[in-house]
Amino acid sequence: MTATTRTPFGDFLRSRRKKLRPGDVGLNDGRRRRTPGLRREEVAELAGIGVDWYIRLEQGRAVSPSDATLDALARALQLDNAEVAHLRTLAQRSEPRAFARENVPPAVARVVASLALPAYVTGRRWDILACNEAATELLGFDRLAAQDRNIMIYMFLEPEARRLFGASWSNEARRMIALFRTSHDLHAGDPAFVELVGRLGSSSEEFAKWWSAHDVRSGASGQKVFAHARHGVQRYEYATFQANDDPALKLAIYTPVDADVV
């Protein structure tokens, strides 16, 4: 059997296995290793499952791991909460419909436009579907061509993003990659996602390096610090909200932390 219906699932298992060292799980590292990380048989033993079964999982074969197996793999690979959630999502993944750029309902677009705080709406591929004047003033999304208005393109290919985030750009960019990975892996074979990741990887060495780490994380709120050209250093809290009309749509709103931010 050669069908590979769970390639993102297998890729994720492989990436976590390669990150662990024998000493991390109490194993002797006496034997020379040709590749970094644990061996497949070591993970299988730690998880208490058969080696052949684990190999099928990692190769992306058409298998359906039970909840108990997923729990055992999570313990063996020392996954954190975000990684466990991602593993479970990938295990339950069904073939999604082909990607099409979403449309923002007029009522939602009007709400965004009416807000005084920076706000924008993104879709499942992180395309910027709507933004208000405050967001344009703060983030400079209008610097991007209409077809390139995408958070990942903005962060890695738009020079203004590097200047705006300043010293925090690297940390913020890595955080974004880990968040985007959780969306990407549900559509990993879709041409629209393949094209986006391929473009980013060929145009940005940082993206290519950090993407290969296969990190994931959760989190829809936090703080960002900007070095704004006109207003100087600014700190914002941000939060995101799903739209009832289409859960793929997410509204992001930025609220100034300091009273003197304008």
Q: What is the CATH number of the domain that holds 223?
A: 3.30.450.180
Report whether pLDDT(9) > 70: yes
pLDDT at 123: 96
Domain co-membership, 61 together with 171? no
> Does a structural domain hold residue 185?
yes
Residue-number span of the structural domain to which 15 is assigned? 7-91
Domain co-membership, 225 together with 166? yes
- When pLDDT is cut at 50, 70 and 90, the band that residue 23 belongs to is confident
With 0.75 as the threshold, say if the pTM is over it: yes
Q: What is the mean pLDDT of the chain?
A: 89
Chosen domain end from 91, 122, 139: 91
- When pLDDT is cut at 50, 70 and 90, the band that residue 31 belongs to is low
Q: Number of folded domains in the chain?
A: 2
Across the range 120-132, mean pLDDT stands at 97
Chosen domain end from 65, 91, 117: 91
DSSP, residue by residue, 242-256: E-SS-TT-EEEEEEE
pLDDT at 258: 72
Domain co-membership, 84 together with 143? no
Greater confidence, 39 or 196?
A: 196
Domain co-membership, 171 together with 252? yes
State how far the Cα of 259 lies from the Cα of 262, in Å rounded to an integer: 8
State how far the Cα of 183 lies from the Cα of 208, in Å rounded to an integer: 17
pLDDT at 32: 66
pLDDT at 104: 96
Domain co-membership, 77 together with 39? yes
Q: In this structure, what CATH number is given to the domain that contains residue 43?
A: 1.10.260.40
Q: What are the tens digits of pLDDT across the range 139-158?
A: 999 999 999 999 999 999 99
> Does a structural domain hold residue 1?
no
pLDDT at 47: 93
Across the range 214-238, mean pLDDT stands at 87
> Does a structural domain hold residue 2?
no
Domain co-membership, 145 together with 251? yes
> Does a structural domain hold residue 97?
no
Tokens 């590292």 found at: 29
Domain co-membership, 77 together with 161? no
> Does a structural domain hold residue 96?
no
Q: In sequence order, which residues have a C-beta less than 8 Å from that of residue 150 and are 6 or more positions away?
A: 125, 126, 127, 128, 144, 196
Distance, C-alpha 205 to centroid of its chain: 17
> Does a structural domain hold residue 239?
yes
Backbone angles phi, psi at 211, to 5 degrees: -65, -40
Report whether pLDDT(231) > 70: yes
Domain co-membership, 48 together with 162? no
Across the range 12-17, mean pLDDT stands at 92
Chosen domain end from 57, 91, 125: 91
Domain co-membership, 215 together with 120? yes
Domain co-membership, 120 together with 197? yes
Domain co-membership, 19 together with 47? yes
Which two three-digit tokens encode residue 76?
A: 């063996």
> Does a structural domain hold residue 133?
yes
Report whether pLDDT(68) > 50: yes
> Does a structural domain hold residue 57?
yes
Rg (CA), the chain: 21
Q: What is the largest CA-CA distance in the chain?
A: 64
Domain co-membership, 110 together with 136? yes
Report whether pLDDT(95) > 80: no
